[in-house]
Structure 1
Amino acid sequence: MPRDLVSEANLRRWMPLTLLAASFVVSMTDTVLSHRGTERIPILIALTLLAAVWTWFCHPSVRNVPVLYLAVRLVLTAVLVGLNPWYGIYTWYGYVEAPNYLPQRLVYPALGGVALIASASYIGGFPTSPVLVVVWLLLTAGSFALVRFINGVVEKAREQEVERDRMLAELTVTNQRLEETLAENRGLQSQLLTGAREAGALDERARLAGEIHDTLAQALTGIIRQLEAADRTGELAGATRPHVDQAAQLAREGLSEARRSLSALRPGQLEGSTLPTAIKGVAAGADLPVDVDVTGGVRVLPTDQEVVLLRVVQEALTNVTKHAAATRVGVTLTYLEDAVMLDVRDDGVGFDPDSVGMRADGTGMGLAAMRDRLARVDGTLIVESTPGEGTALVATLPCGAPVPTS
């Protein structure tokens, strides 16, 4: 039971005993000082002890007999007031006990009984003359009306408090539902923004792919065909033609790069496939053994993130094939709670990461491209390598809460 309820129950149990003790002390003092009614002292002591025992052992906070408790209490109170009016001090607490312990139909009859006894104490005991009877009845009516008014105010306050508690409970539930709705709306908004961003990225990729296909790729294809036609018709006859051959080679390389860009803009490996499956497909087409491991709960990532990770794997395997002289490569894709990590390790010759991008032959640009790709989706790339000890690339992409794939 809460501490405040325990304190209130103790107060209700001890208050009538305290008032009874106060009434006894005042009445005994008055009897001794006035020398009136001294012969009643034994009866007062006995009845006071009986009232105290009855209150202590039969109080509603101890036994569930409120009607019997208050009936006996009123009888004992009436007898005590009749013997000594100072027991009116003990009487008035009946105004508090009746509304708290009795059924509603018995509250006002009990309050009327308390008012009769309390009014008798006001006039020095129960009336013995017609005039005192009239005064007694008037005091009783006034006391009853006042107590009824106060009790009505208290009941209304209690009803308002109950209604306020109900409204607070409803408001709490409404606030909780509103918070849930707001959280759901934030999730929907995030999904809409992600979808719009992905749709915009896909549209932009398609537009760029179309532009490259319709302009650069077509132009390079036309140059190559014209050079081949000129060669077949003898227009380029001659023993040496290094510039013509170089132009044809550059055109072929440019066309290859254009097609590679088209593939990068529209990654066929991810169409109808998951990222782990696409990475395994890329690994299967490599020129050396590649072990692919996937850990954590696989989930769908935004398209731009999956494209970046797939291109990082492709670029890393291309670099290993060209430069590392490795015998084995390991690729690990790890799905964490708030990030995805891609780890590519080889047992090749290694290199000095600080020198990347400054080679005379122009190599080393692949790492810069990886970093640029990752930076566009808030990712990072860590390169760990030492000459003669292999290389490790670790790409990390932040992502939201896991959404398991079906």
Structure 2
Amino acid sequence: MDAGDGPIERRLEQLHTWGPYGLLGISVVLALVGTGQVEGRAEWELDAALVAAAVLLQLWWQLTRPRRPARGRVPSAAGTAYYAVRWAIAFTLTLSSGFFAFYASAGYMDADELIPGMWRRLGLFAGAITVAGAQCGGLPPEGVSQWAAFGALLAANSGLQTAVAHLTEQEERRSRERAETISALEAANTALRQALDENVALHAQLLVQAREAGVAEERRRLAAEIHDTLAQGLTGIIAQLQVVAAVPDLAGARVHVERASALARHSLGEARRSVHNLAPVALADDGLPEALKKTVAEWGERTGVRCEFTVTGTGEQLHDEIAATLLRITQEALSNTARHAAATRVGVTLSFMGDEVTLDVRDDGRGFDPVAVPARNGTGGFGLDGMRARAERIAGHLAVESEPGHGTALSARVPLVRHDR
């Protein structure tokens, strides 16, 4: 029930309680005034008895009827009996005086409350007979004209009451539907609150899982950064020092010692840089194309292998994470080529293609069977597995094509994400 329905229901309850008393009183007063002479009329004794019976009937019903709102009351056998007895009293009184039709019209107010189902229409029709009889001059009608008037008045009263009953039934149906809708909304609100509570708990769980995943991912990333900086630099230093041991002249040895010192300084710079933000030193002052060009040139000079770098498409200033990932993949690919391929020529191509950036590293070395390569190589490095993980971490993809004796082609394809301005 809406908040505004409470006063309306209370007024209806009062009308159903005191309305019959008021209509009976009006009928008695009009009947006395209209008749004029009361003394000596025997029928008034019967009328007085019927009026007293009507009052007692009303008191009985007032004391015994269910105390519920009118719209919430369910018709019962007692209510139907009360309606029938009241109609019989009103009909008998109306035969004596047409003014008692006012009392008979009380059935119009509470038929929906007292009579169930289709019987309600019959009860309203019975009340319409009493009222129409009083309106046409009394029952039974006399003459054709009075019967015609009675028929017309009965049809009018019945039609009006049928329309009112229909509207009342529609209102009751709407009230039931509204109550069902409110119940459904309350159930939906309860389910929504439960879903929100579950969502809060799930969100907290996801935060914990994301934090744990972030820690694990940062550990893997740090391990890869150390591998790509310190490990590769130390590998190069060891290689240069090994060459020194085999060089007979001092001038040649000095060249390799200087290269080892340069690698050591470079590795130290990379280590310091990694401590700060794990970004490659080569990208501190240059964009990715310039950094790759220097990396390729230094690698070729250090290894003595012919290495060429090419840029295709319109260059873009890439996001730091994208640039760092492609640079690290290049460094790892060149390191693997130096250690395993025995190549005489290497080509590195950086291609800007719309929404993607592609890095291709090709060599004419001895090649290998990609299926037979373990997830990590025997030196403890990350190899192809590490490069593939780097590409996938930024929603990219790494493809490797190779076969023994026919060289190797590595292609990393990643989204083109521009640098934050």
Q: TM-score, normalised by structure 1?
A: 0.48
Q: TM-score, normalised by structure 2?
A: 0.47
Asked which structure has the greater CA Rg, the reply is: 2
